[in-house]
Structure 1
């Protein structure tokens, strides 16, 4: 129980990453990174182009459009990709898009509203509603391109944007298939803590603190940002939960660091948790059916239970794929572990 309570409290830490001002950090200088940095190498079989499009709220989203270089004349099947939560398109979502484009898909990997290069003020805010809408906006964009078959459009969601992607697929019938990897239900983990271990009293205390913070923000006429966050790699003791070590080893090292990534180099607003604590995602996951769902999780991922519960809640056709020995962050970028052949066959079989 003590371990679970500690993880519940840690969920707040993970959701309010360390505040850093909009200056070049020592880590950026050390790695000699620019904001044009990508954490993976673009395939010589793929083209990448920056694109913009608006969501239903008028927020301009920025994405990268990946296309196969040698493509036939007929329109392509297409995918909208985002995630992980707190990441940017130059990280895992771009890596996935690069892989899918090699396999014949038109893919847009995008920064969600209020983050990365996408618009929206204040910065670094997440929303179960607006981020669900972001996926549908990406579907809007893909469906009006001459090189896309709008009847063959799907979603790939990673981590917290796996939950948002499932939510979007439930409401957006244009989505013909959806796959998620290392899925998080951000509403559930925010409102209940990891493994639903947050007590009613803890939830009440957290909401009281968030209410007080709103008054502070109102007085200053600007939002405050989180003050607790991931340690630097050299600060790890080895006693942290595996997933904290995994996040540090991805977001805080050359493997996955990006200047615009909230998890690498920024923070969520201090009141970011509010809407997630009051508006559950995945309420209508069963209504994705009869469109197929593929849920992928690591055998040893701390987040595996989110995937298993989403699988139980979804109706057929559905598939849960457990990757032996994998942890949560392995499915961010380890191309020898991520089942891209399975993902390719899943979408090609179902986007028709």
Structure 2
């Protein structure tokens, strides 16, 4: 644990909140990088409730998860924002490989870390997953009963989205073409001795063939970009650009969808009950139906909050829309 240096966070920083640079291992041996936020008037002789936070999928701790962590530290929690394995400053000899199993494990490893701190009460640890990490955090909480309360913000089921497409739009023909492309990509990666970068959610051309690219976003937004692409571009390439963010500067490995095809997330989220779950999404979020689907599969105790007028990325960083009062009351009540 060391004082944060070379600060590259992309949101407005509260200098009154002490932030420590930390490292911890998951059970697969990946070394995870995190920022540990200490609450106002921190006293290391006291014990605090803690919240571990990650996401969005392809973001880094200097982006949205750090903003959530800082804001909740202002409310009296010890919080940990961390980079998923193979991304950001976390380890991994092959960079930017997404794995449902490993990313779920990363949340439990974060619980390990905060629970080892003498100033954290192990019986008062919660978790938040933002965007695509929302489906991972619910999966983690399904079996890791140390997570006493769990929340998601604009949750996105990455496995469902990759397999079925947004709004379940992917056809069987498209999925077959996609698998053929990924099979050829594996041959290319094996022949070249290293994995290529590529899109984890493939668009299709007018002939129903998948389109591949080695970067999620170009430097400029295409004139014919759809609203969802525009929204993501404005966040990752615009107001919250970070050079270590997969979504800002590069792409996942091209074969990333294979593991999500095989291993769906959220299989046992009904088992979180009776521990409480808070599902937050935006009224205008393109991902809203995923949050509502997850909510419907959960058992009590659960709560769904739909933020009026909010889009998906609004709940990444727009302080006038993110319901931090709701997150605060949820965790203060349940931790």
Aligned CA distance change for structure 1 residues 246 and 315 (closer, same or farther; 3 Å): same
Q: What is the alpha-carbon distance in structure 1 between the residues aligned to residue 108 and residue 221 of structure 2? A: 40
Matched residue, 2:84: 112
Q: Secondary structure at the match of 1:107?
A: strand
Task: Please tell me the root mean square deviation across aligned C-alpha atoms, in Å.
Answer: 1.4
Q: What is the alpha-carbon distance in structure 2 between the residues aligned to residue 235 and residue 350 of structure 1? A: 43
Q: Is the 8 A contact 2:216 2:251 kept in 1?
A: no
In the TM superposition, residue 36 of structure 1 has moved relative to its aligned partner by 3.8
**Higher RCO, 1 or 2 (CA under 8 Å, sep at least 6)?**
1
- How many residue pairs match? The answer is 316
Q: Is the 8 A contact 1:81 1:107 kept in 2?
A: yes
Q: Secondary structure at the match of 1:235?
A: coil
In the TM superposition, residue 232 of structure 1 has moved relative to its aligned partner by 4.6
Q: What TM-score do you get using the length of structure 1 for normalisation?
A: 0.87
Q: 2:37 aligns with which of 66, 72, 96?
A: 66
Q: Secondary structure at the match of 1:123?
A: coil
Matched residue, 1:295: 279
Matched residue, 2:270: 286
Q: What is the alpha-carbon distance in structure 2 between the residues aligned to residue 49 and residue 274 of structure 1? A: 36
Aligned CA distance change for structure 1 residues 270 and 234 (closer, same or farther; 3 Å): closer
Q: 1:307 aligns with which of 276, 288, 291?
A: 291
Q: Secondary structure at the match of 1:152?
A: strand
Counterpart check, 1:88 vs 2:60: yes
Q: Is the 8 A contact 1:81 1:109 kept in 2?
A: yes
Matched residue, 1:246: 231
In the TM superposition, residue 45 of structure 1 has moved relative to its aligned partner by 2.8
Q: Is the 8 A contact 1:286 1:314 kept in 2?
A: yes
Q: Is the 8 A contact 2:217 2:247 kept in 1?
A: no
Q: What TM-score do you get using the length of structure 2 for normalisation?
A: 0.92
Counterpart check, 1:273 vs 2:257: yes
Aligned CA distance change for structure 1 residues 144 and 231 (closer, same or farther; 3 Å): closer
In the TM superposition, residue 41 of structure 1 has moved relative to its aligned partner by 2.5
Q: Is the 8 A contact 1:184 1:303 kept in 2?
A: yes
Q: What is the alpha-carbon distance in structure 2 between the residues aligned to residue 235 and residue 133 of structure 1? A: 35
Deviations 1:87-144 (A, max 9, x none): 0000000000000111000111000000000001210110110000000000000111
Matched residue, 1:328: 312
Q: What is the alpha-carbon distance in structure 1 between the residues aligned to residue 326 and residue 40 of structure 2? A: 22
Q: Is the 8 A contact 1:233 1:249 kept in 2?
A: no
Q: What is the alpha-carbon distance in structure 2 between the residues aligned to residue 121 and residue 127 of structure 1? A: 14
Counterpart check, 1:45 vs 2:16: yes
Q: Secondary structure at the match of 2:280?
A: strand
Matched residue, 1:264: 248
Q: Is the 8 A contact 2:215 2:249 kept in 1?
A: no
Q: 2:103 aligns with which of 127, 131, 134?
A: 131
Q: What is the alpha-carbon distance in structure 2 between the residues aligned to residue 65 and residue 288 of structure 1? A: 26
Matched residue, 1:196: 168
Q: What is the alpha-carbon distance in structure 2 between the residues aligned to residue 60 and residue 142 of structure 1? A: 15
In the TM superposition, residue 197 of structure 1 has moved relative to its aligned partner by 1.3
Counterpart check, 1:177 vs 2:149: yes
Q: 2:94 aligns with which of 96, 119, 122?
A: 122
Q: What is the alpha-carbon distance in structure 1 between the residues aligned to residue 221 and residue 72 of structure 2? A: 36
Matched residue, 2:221: 235
Aligned CA distance change for structure 1 residues 231 and 139 (closer, same or farther; 3 Å): closer
In the TM superposition, residue 229 of structure 1 has moved relative to its aligned partner by 4.5
Matched residue, 2:330: 346
Q: What is the alpha-carbon distance in structure 1 between the residues aligned to residue 55 and residue 88 of structure 2? A: 12
Q: Structure 1: which 5+ runs fail to align?
A: 1-33
Deviations 1:146-199 (A, max 9, x none): 010010000011000111111110010000000100100000000110111111
Matched residue, 2:204: none
Counterpart check, 1:98 vs 2:70: yes
In the TM superposition, residue 339 of structure 1 has moved relative to its aligned partner by 0.5
